[in-house]
Every structure is written in structure tokens, then in C-alpha cells.
Structure 1
Amino acid sequence: MNRLQVLTLLGASLLAACSGEPARPDKPEAPVVQVADITRLTGDAEAGRIGFGQCRSCHAVEAGVNRVGPSLHTIVGRPVGTVADYRYSTAMAAAGGAWDEQRLYDFLENPRGYLPGTKMTFVGIKDGQRRADIIAYLKTQAD
């Protein structure tokens, strides 16, 4: 590996660390995809399973398993703020509606910007394709 390759890999790793997204040294970094409408993207559930790794410290996909954040089991289509035995922020409890794909996509870009007052401290995922992949994975986590 030459010096330029090492510096490129190091720079990509540092950028990923600052963004809250895991570094992928096995896969070159793709340009960030910014799309306002999730219907223009095709989510890859396997890539989403890998991407969900950054979410696992606070969320589980198993039913009834709450951590710092609520279980995300069957989140797609579920009413917002309704997981049993989880104490939501006032903002989340009052949000209303359901977690459809577009709402998840928008929320995951910048949780605190989308829903001021949320307890979720995660900075968000700027890459639209990565968000679509994670949502595709979450759709597989249903009964």
C-alpha cells in the first residue's frame, strides 16, 4: 500500500468517526447520497444490517427489549412513541402519527432537528442510501 492509499484510508476513517458512522476499510467510501424522498432509493437490507451496528448500543430489534432507546422491532408502520415499558420524551410522546419509511428516513437524517426535544442524542446519518438501507433492514424485523 502506497502512502497516498494509507492517507486516503486514514482520512476516510477519521471522517467516518466524526460522522457517527462506522468506517468501512473493506469498501471504498461512496459519495454521500442526499435525497429528500426515500421512494427514489432502493434499500439493501443486508447493508442495513451492517449499518445498524451503530444503532445497537442504544436500540435492539428484538420485541420487548428496550435499552437507552426503545426496541425497534416492528417499527415500520408502528405509531410513534408507543413501545410498552419505555419512557419517551414529551416531544416524542406527543408527535403522533406512525413511523412510515419516509418519516424514519427524515428523522434519521437529523433526529434533533426533525423532532426538537427528542431524547435521542445521535447526530444522524447524512447519507440517504445508508438511511434507506437501515430502514430496509428494520422492515425485516417484524413478526
Structure 2
Amino acid sequence: MSLEFNKAAAAVLTAGITFMVAGLVGKFLVSPPHQYEAAIATGAPPPAATPATPAAPALEPVGPLLAAANVDSGRQLAQRLCASCHNFAKGGPNGVGPNLWGVVGGPHAHAQGFNYSPANRALADKPWDYEALNAFIANPREAMPGTRMAFAGLRNLQQRADVIAFLRSLDDNPKPLP
């Protein structure tokens, strides 16, 4: 065998090993798409499974926490989360949302001159009691389907109690605690 033949054989083997190693590294770095087996229906279809609708967890009552709720913490939360749409001043103007002075214990749709959603106007004869506020602040769209309020809700019960305590303070004669 000649030296030229050895060079050519070494080049072919080196190229083959290089391509093989590159393929292994490529498979390691990028996994190939999963191959699904074709399903062929035979016989009667299996009975459809009924989806289990999880029951919505009951909302914890806010009443027991209101006595120890922190009005200042509620004020800070309300300023951060609510003040872009609501006004808290007595006699203050409505904004994107209604003025919230006197909301606790007052009727739904309490602010004069505000264009409430039909869902809120339908509840105009019902008062904003502590539990109604708790449910609405937790999840406005679930508590009042059809509301225009874009707020997603406040999940933390203690924070809701603090905000409700602050809203309770926005009245000349705050409503008694439950």
C-alpha cells in the first residue's frame, strides 16, 4: 500500500468520525420531534369523560378580621390600587369609577351622576355590606357579572379587610362592625 492510499483512507475515516460525532452532539442538543402513533378507531368509541368542574372555594368571611384591620394599610393599598379610578374625598367628583365616600352600608350605585353598569344598577336596592364588599374586592367579575370594573381582584383576605376598614372610615358616621 502506498502512502497516498493511507492519506485518502485516513481522510475518509476522519470525515466519517467527524460527521458521526457532530450527529451525536446535535441529537443531544436538539431533541428530535416526538413521533406519534396513528390512532385507528376500532369498535365503539369509549364513553366520554365528564369534566369535573371544581367547586369554587368559598370566600372566607371578612367580619372577624375587621376589628383588627389596619386602616392606614388599607389607605395605602387603596391609594395604590384604586385611586387611579376612584376618588375618596367627601363630595369629590366621580372619576372612571364612582366616588367611594360613604360606600360602606350605602346602596349599590350610590354615587349621584355616575354611569353605572346595568349589573350594578340592578343591585341598587341592596346595600354594600361588609361581605358584599369582601366578595366584590376579591373578584369583581365573579361577584357582579357584567360589571365594567377592570380590577382583577385582591386575593389576600387581610388586605381586603384593611381596604374595607379604610372604606368604612370614609363616612361621617361609620357603620358598626359586624
TM-score for both structures, normalised by structure 1: 0.73
Say yes or no: does 1:138 pair with 2:164: no
1:59 is matched with 86
Runs (5+) with no aligned partner, structure 1: 1-33
For the residues of structure 1 that align with 2:103 and 2:96, how far apart are their CA atoms?
16
For the residues of structure 2 that align with 1:78 and 1:129, how far apart are their CA atoms?
23
Say yes or no: does 1:122 pair with 2:148: no
Aligned sequence identity (%)? 37
CA RMSD of aligned residues (A): 1.4
For the residues of structure 1 that align with 2:120 and 2:141, how far apart are their CA atoms?
11
Runs (5+) with no aligned partner, structure 2: 1-57, 173-178
For the residues of structure 2 that align with 1:45 and 1:117, how far apart are their CA atoms?
30
1:82 is matched with 110
Q: Larger RCO: Structure 1 or Structure 2 (Cα < 8 Å, ≥ 6 residues apart)? A: 1
For the residues of structure 2 that align with 1:82 and 1:56, how far apart are their CA atoms?
18
Q: For this pair of structures, how many residues does the alignment match?
A: 110
Structure 1 runs (4+) deviating above 6 angstroms are: none
Per-residue CA distance 1:61-83 (angstroms, 9 max, x = gap): 11242000000001101011121
1:26 is matched with none
Residue pairs, 1:103-118, within 5 angstroms: 103-118=132-147
Say yes or no: does 1:100 pair with 2:129: yes
Residue 35 and residue 93 in structure 1: after superposition, are their counterparts in 2 closer, same or farther (change >3 A)?
closer
For the residues of structure 1 that align with 2:74 and 2:131, how far apart are their CA atoms?
16
Deviation, structure 1 residue 46:
0.7
TM-score for both structures, normalised by structure 2: 0.59
1:38 is matched with 62
Residue 35 and residue 115 in structure 1: after superposition, are their counterparts in 2 closer, same or farther (change >3 A)?
closer
For the residues of structure 2 that align with 1:134 and 1:127, how far apart are their CA atoms?
11
Per-residue CA distance 1:44-67 (angstroms, 9 max, x = gap): 101101111210000011124200
1:70 is matched with 98
